[in-house]
Structure 1
Amino acid sequence: MPQATSREKGNLVYDVVIVGAGPVGLLLACELGLAGCSVLVIERDPEGSSPWRAQPLGLRGLSAASIQALYRRGLLEPLVKDLDDRQPPPRMVGHFAGMMLDAANLDEAAFPFRLPTPTPDLLMTSLEELESVLAERAAKLGVEIERGTPVSGLTQYDDSVVVRAGEQEYAGRWVVGCDGGRSAVRGLAGFEFVGTGPLFTGYTMSVTVDDPEKLNPGFNLTPTGMYIRMATEGHFSMLDFDGGAFDRSQELTREHLQEVLRRLSGTDVTLTEVHLASSFTDRAMQTTTYRRGRVLLAGDAAHIHSPLGGQGLNTGLGDAMNLGWKLAATVHGEAPDGLLDTYATERHPVGASVLDWTRAQVDVMRPGPQADAVRGLIRDLLDTRDGTTYVVSKLTGYWIRYDLGDEHPLVGRSAPDLCLEDGTRLGELMQDGRGVLLDFAGSLQEQASRWDLTYVAGPARDDLGLAAVLIRPDGVVAWTGDPATLDAAAARWFGKDHG
């Protein structure tokens, strides 16, 4: 690493330069801006809008974990109009490898710390809508966004990193690559990217079909692969198990797409026009670390996999929430020793698990008698209470629990939306991005002041049998239980004693 500082080169130095203005980069920018950091976001695309980001092709499902994160920052309401007037949403359902779950099998008792909340368990939105909300918030927080500037160079110094984008150089004390599966930052910084190759070429397309009645709606597993007929007319996805041979290697002609759809569906369906089409694979790769010096990665820059199960966007948003407050504390010199390293120790295992989750689905969808047999076994398991509940826990993010060295089953999990007697909810208390201490017995105000926490005392409508709860800025429970151990837990996450 060069010993000179970037300041000697005369560059304006930001606290953090983020490469990538997708949802992950923008949410991270919001978190850092909320904490008072100077932030620049560099985006290679000149415009934020495109048909691939708008509905229907840009439609994505937000999991319960992502929805809670947005709710805690006051970012959910623009995506869900009249949130306070909503009726409780239908129970979350989903699929595993195209095999649909029966909501009646869900065991609510398996989630003992889940409390009623005004938020849904699943929200469909487009990338364009989500990015618009996040970009508007980022701008209000003073975040700068430079569009149309692809990154071509990166040099680390002792105190900063210089990023070359277009004809300009930008310096940040830290740089975070949120620039997707073909991340320039990942390659320029020398991250090792390892994993497994593809088994299929996938297609997403908007087409005109002459005889759509020949194609069944929804997920359709067939002897040769799978096709999905979406609710929007002419919107299809296909999985063709060719080892990924066709991905980005040839032009996606009408003739080719029609041939694949006919083979997968077993029909003689006719495509008369192709409006938009792209390909993808189930390649599953992850960087061996999420940090090299002053460069970090989040989202698809750190991990890629097939879109089965809708985990990519949600995993990336989880990365941004976990990293944001930790990086901000590091920038301000307030982080306890090792805080930034916990980003990788907590999020890398989550990414690895998601890769395996998608690999498993691909494997049971492969054509052939072996996969057919396994698929039949899994279908039987999914028809059970335990099977449905297990898959739902994966789809919602309820399964995630960081190892914080505390045996209490709530510590390390996303905090339930605790509601005080006056109607104030935990989600409302977290909009400033600070740690929160809920004290149902009212005896810990002095300790809360010592650690500069948002402190709220008083009984809750349902305290889950707890006396007090310490919640990190990312919404994760850091402590509950013996008041004598509160200071040690707070010191681990908040570092500086303000007493």
Structure 2
Amino acid sequence: MSVDVVIAGAGPNGLMLACELSLAGVRPVVLERLPGRTEENRANGLVGQVVRMLDRRGLYGRLSDSKEPPRPGPSFVFGALPLDLSTLDDNPLYGLPVPQRRVEQVLEERAIELGVEIRRGHELTGLSQDDDAVTADIAGPTGSYRLRTRYLVGADGGRSLTRKLSGIGFPGVTTDNMVSRTAHATVPAAMIDPVTGGLNLPGYGAIPPFMHHRTERGLFVFAPFPSRPTVVSATEWDPAEAEGDDRPPLTLDELRESVRRVLGADLPLGPPEGQGPHLLRRLTGGNTRLADRFRDRRVLLVGDAAHVHSAIGGPGLNLGLQDTVNLGWKLAAEIRGWAPPGLLDSYETERRPVAQRVVMHTRAQSALIAPGGEVTALRELFTELLHDRRNVQRIADMMAGADIRYDMGAGDAHPLAGRWAPDLLPDTGTGPVRLAELTRDARPLLLDLTEDASLTEELSGWRDRVDVVAARSPDPAAPATALLLRPDCYIAWASSSPRPDPHEREALRTALTRWFGAAG
């Protein structure tokens, strides 16, 4: 066997998976057809549960340049309708306004620290499988070669060659009635509201920053990112001019005309300030597709290779990076020989429904931003519904991915089982410690906050795979006295008893066996 895992694609998903595998003791090889990191910026930030996940791997501080933990934002947007998050009891919409190329840089640096081999300029060209391994055909700078690997993971985007070569279908819908134009640009300083940072556009009125702004003619976005070039975007449906692949590159004049059609007012646009690369992009149509399966024997898919959808609401990296965190420890367990039966299959069982839900809500948002009087009436109804805090909570949870609850089987008895682990502050004897500081090595963890800390005894056969932290909780209202966390920070078992009884202890051992294999 040449290597344990080959990952096709060195974008954020491929690099994050490489980090997760390395933390679990597996050394992957990452193939990337491009000779260097792309300068194209496909996303302007991260939003949702993934921000907290990166914090729990010690990566949030690197990305944010802050020593403070992540905080949720006071507002967001759903289908170009504002969401007031300030009144929520549990606001799940965390954001991190960092460009994708910076995310890739940080993840590559971390992967290299962990000993990951990244082969740039190496492209997967073919594959074949047998019962024991995958043979990958690769074209490199000095010629073609083969690698035999136990598993191959496609993190190679929406046009994934891995997916095509493995025969996995990619059904869905392609539309061609929409054109989106986006660019870095400057606007006259006199038009910028000194309080909100939004626009005061003569002939139109106030436009808040960072929000999708819908009119009967299209969608407009003004995003003045701090210390970065401002992004201006205009989207139209059934545009009057013909679109095609042979059109010349987008210009600021073309974007300015599109903004005039959408808003009915002129917005002077100038070239962006500072050094590039600068964004100047025209996208026609859209794709919504979901792989009919995420695994074909020893080939697996993550991120856009498994699902593509509208970018509205910024769910792409939230979904894809959490795919990798779900898959990494399970694949490593299979390779290292302690995986219980069906563990690797649970990757698709858990993540495909999450992708289906993202497809659903992005399509719903796309419907809400379309032109037409019927859509305007629907938006009026939604505006009324969003005055109810419960509806705002539900939509915010859905967009963040905070409504996920995996099936933990016999461990489902506790309300927290199957859900994301809350941000507890256990006191290990030297003061309160954030849970994020206990999960950076991506190992299963038993957090024992019971009165006598005796749950450690139940781990005698799993100490090679599961860490235990005995502590006390300074919060008498803490939601649990003991948590068994999977490496992806979802709770496999929980108790609220000061001293768990024999039945709960048996349930703990059942959960340990189900997720981390038989006792050694």
Tell me what 2:214 maps to: 221
Tell me what 2:467 maps to: 454
Query: Kindly tell me: are residues 158 and 46 of structure 1, through their superposed partners in 2, closer, same or farther at Cα, counting changes over 3 Å?
Result: same
| Structure 1 position 238 matched with structure 2 position 234 | yes
Output the CA distance in 1 between the equivalents of 2:149 and 2:136.
Answer: 8
Local SS of the residue matching 2:322? helix
| Structure 1 position 386 matched with structure 2 position 390 | yes
Output the CA distance in 1 between the equivalents of 2:290 and 2:474.
Answer: 43
Query: Kindly tell me: are residues 494 and 234 of structure 1, through their superposed partners in 2, closer, same or farther at Cα, counting changes over 3 Å?
Result: closer
Tell me what 1:496 maps to: 518
Does the Cα contact within 8 Å between 2:5 and 2:27 map onto a contact in 1? yes
| Structure 1 position 151 matched with structure 2 position 165 | no
The structure 1 residue matched to 2:403, chosen from 396, 399, 422, is 399
Output the CA distance in 1 between the equivalents of 2:216 and 2:486.
Answer: 48
Tell me what 1:117 maps to: none
Output the CA distance in 2 between the equivalents of 1:250 and 1:83.
Answer: 47
Deviation, structure 1 residue 208: 5.7
User: How far does the alpha carbon of each residue in 1:340-367 deviate from its partner, in whole angstroms, 9 at most, with x for none?
Assistant: 0000000000000000110000111111
Counterpart of 2:261, as a letter, is R
Counterpart mapping for 1:78-227 below 5 A? 78-84=62-68, 89=71, 91-108=73-90, 121-166=94-139, 167-198=144-175, 199-207=177-185, 213=201, 216-218=207-209, 219-227=212-220
User: How far does the alpha carbon of each residue in 1:219-278 deviate from its partner, in whole angstroms, 9 at most, with x for none?
Assistant: 321111101121155521222223998475633343543443322122244556696422
User: How far does the alpha carbon of each residue in 1:96-122 deviate from its partner, in whole angstroms, 9 at most, with x for none?
Assistant: 1111122344244xx8xx9xxxxx932
Tell me what 1:439 maps to: 448
Counterpart mapping for 1:55-66 below 5 A? 58-63=43-48, 65-66=49-50
Query: Kindly tell me: are residues 425 and 251 of structure 1, through their superposed partners in 2, closer, same or farther at Cα, counting changes over 3 Å?
Result: same
Counterpart of 1:431, as a letter, is R
| Structure 1 position 480 matched with structure 2 position 477 | no
Does the Cα contact within 8 Å between 1:92 and 1:121 map onto a contact in 2? no
Does the Cα contact within 8 Å between 2:45 and 2:95 map onto a contact in 1? no
Counterpart of 1:284, as a letter, is T
Q: Which sections of structure 1, spanning at least 5 residues, go unmatched? A: 1-6, 8-12, 115-119
Does the Cα contact within 8 Å between 2:250 and 2:281 map onto a contact in 1? no
Output the CA distance in 2 between the equivalents of 1:82 and 1:258.
Answer: 37
| Deviation larger for 385-394 or 330-339 | 385-394
| Structure 1 position 70 matched with structure 2 position 54 | yes
Does the Cα contact within 8 Å between 1:209 and 1:270 map onto a contact in 2? yes
Counterpart of 2:417, as a letter, is V
Output the CA distance in 2 between the equivalents of 1:32 and 1:333.
Answer: 14
Local SS of the residue matching 1:169? strand
Counterpart of 2:494, as a letter, is T
User: How far does the alpha carbon of each residue in 1:8-32 deviate from its partner, in whole angstroms, 9 at most, with x for none?
Assistant: xxxxx11110111111111100000
Deviation, structure 1 residue 303: 0.5
Tell me what 1:298 maps to: 302
Tell me what 1:267 maps to: 265
Output the CA distance in 2 between the equivalents of 1:416 and 1:264.
Answer: 43
Local SS of the residue matching 2:125? strand
Normalised to the residue count of structure 1, the TM-score between the two structures is 0.88
Q: How many residues align?
A: 471
User: How far does the alpha carbon of each residue in 1:359-393 deviate from its partner, in whole angstroms, 9 at most, with x for none?
Assistant: 00011111111111111111111222122212221
Counterpart of 2:513, as a letter, is A
Deviation, structure 1 residue 289: 0.7
Tell me what 2:28 maps to: 39
| Deviation larger for 403-412 or 201-210 | 201-210
Identity among equivalent positions (%) equals 39
Tell me what 1:10 maps to: none
Does the Cα contact within 8 Å between 1:105 and 1:384 map onto a contact in 2? no
Deviation, structure 1 residue 186: 1.2
Counterpart of 1:238, as a letter, is A
Does the Cα contact within 8 Å between 1:381 and 1:387 map onto a contact in 2? yes
| Deviation larger for 174-183 or 442-451 | 442-451
Output the CA distance in 1 between the equivalents of 2:168 and 2:238.
Answer: 29
Q: Which sections of structure 2, spanning at least 5 residues, go unmatched? A: 192-200, 273-277, 496-503
Deviation, structure 1 residue 294: 0.7
User: How far does the alpha carbon of each residue in 1:280-327 deviate from its partner, in whole angstroms, 9 at most, with x for none?
Assistant: 444211101100111100011101011101101100011010000000
Query: Kindly tell me: are residues 424 and 271 of structure 1, through their superposed partners in 2, closer, same or farther at Cα, counting changes over 3 Å?
Result: closer
Query: Kindly tell me: are residues 253 and 469 of structure 1, through their superposed partners in 2, closer, same or farther at Cα, counting changes over 3 Å?
Result: closer
Does the Cα contact within 8 Å between 1:220 and 1:227 map onto a contact in 2? yes
Output the CA distance in 2 between the equivalents of 1:249 and 1:350.
Answer: 37
| Deviation larger for 27-36 or 381-390 | 381-390
Local SS of the residue matching 2:104? helix
Local SS of the residue matching 1:418? coil
Query: Kindly tell me: are residues 245 and 414 of structure 1, through their superposed partners in 2, closer, same or farther at Cα, counting changes over 3 Å?
Result: farther
Output the CA distance in 1 between the equivalents of 2:244 and 2:413.
Answer: 46
User: How far does the alpha carbon of each residue in 1:412-443 deviate from its partner, in whole angstroms, 9 at most, with x for none?
Assistant: 11101222223123222212221111122211
- Aligned-residue RMSD, C-alpha: 2.5
Query: Kindly tell me: are residues 138 and 209 of structure 1, through their superposed partners in 2, closer, same or farther at Cα, counting changes over 3 Å?
Result: same
Tell me what 1:4 maps to: none
Counterpart mapping for 1:277-292 below 5 A? 277-280=280-283, 281-292=285-296
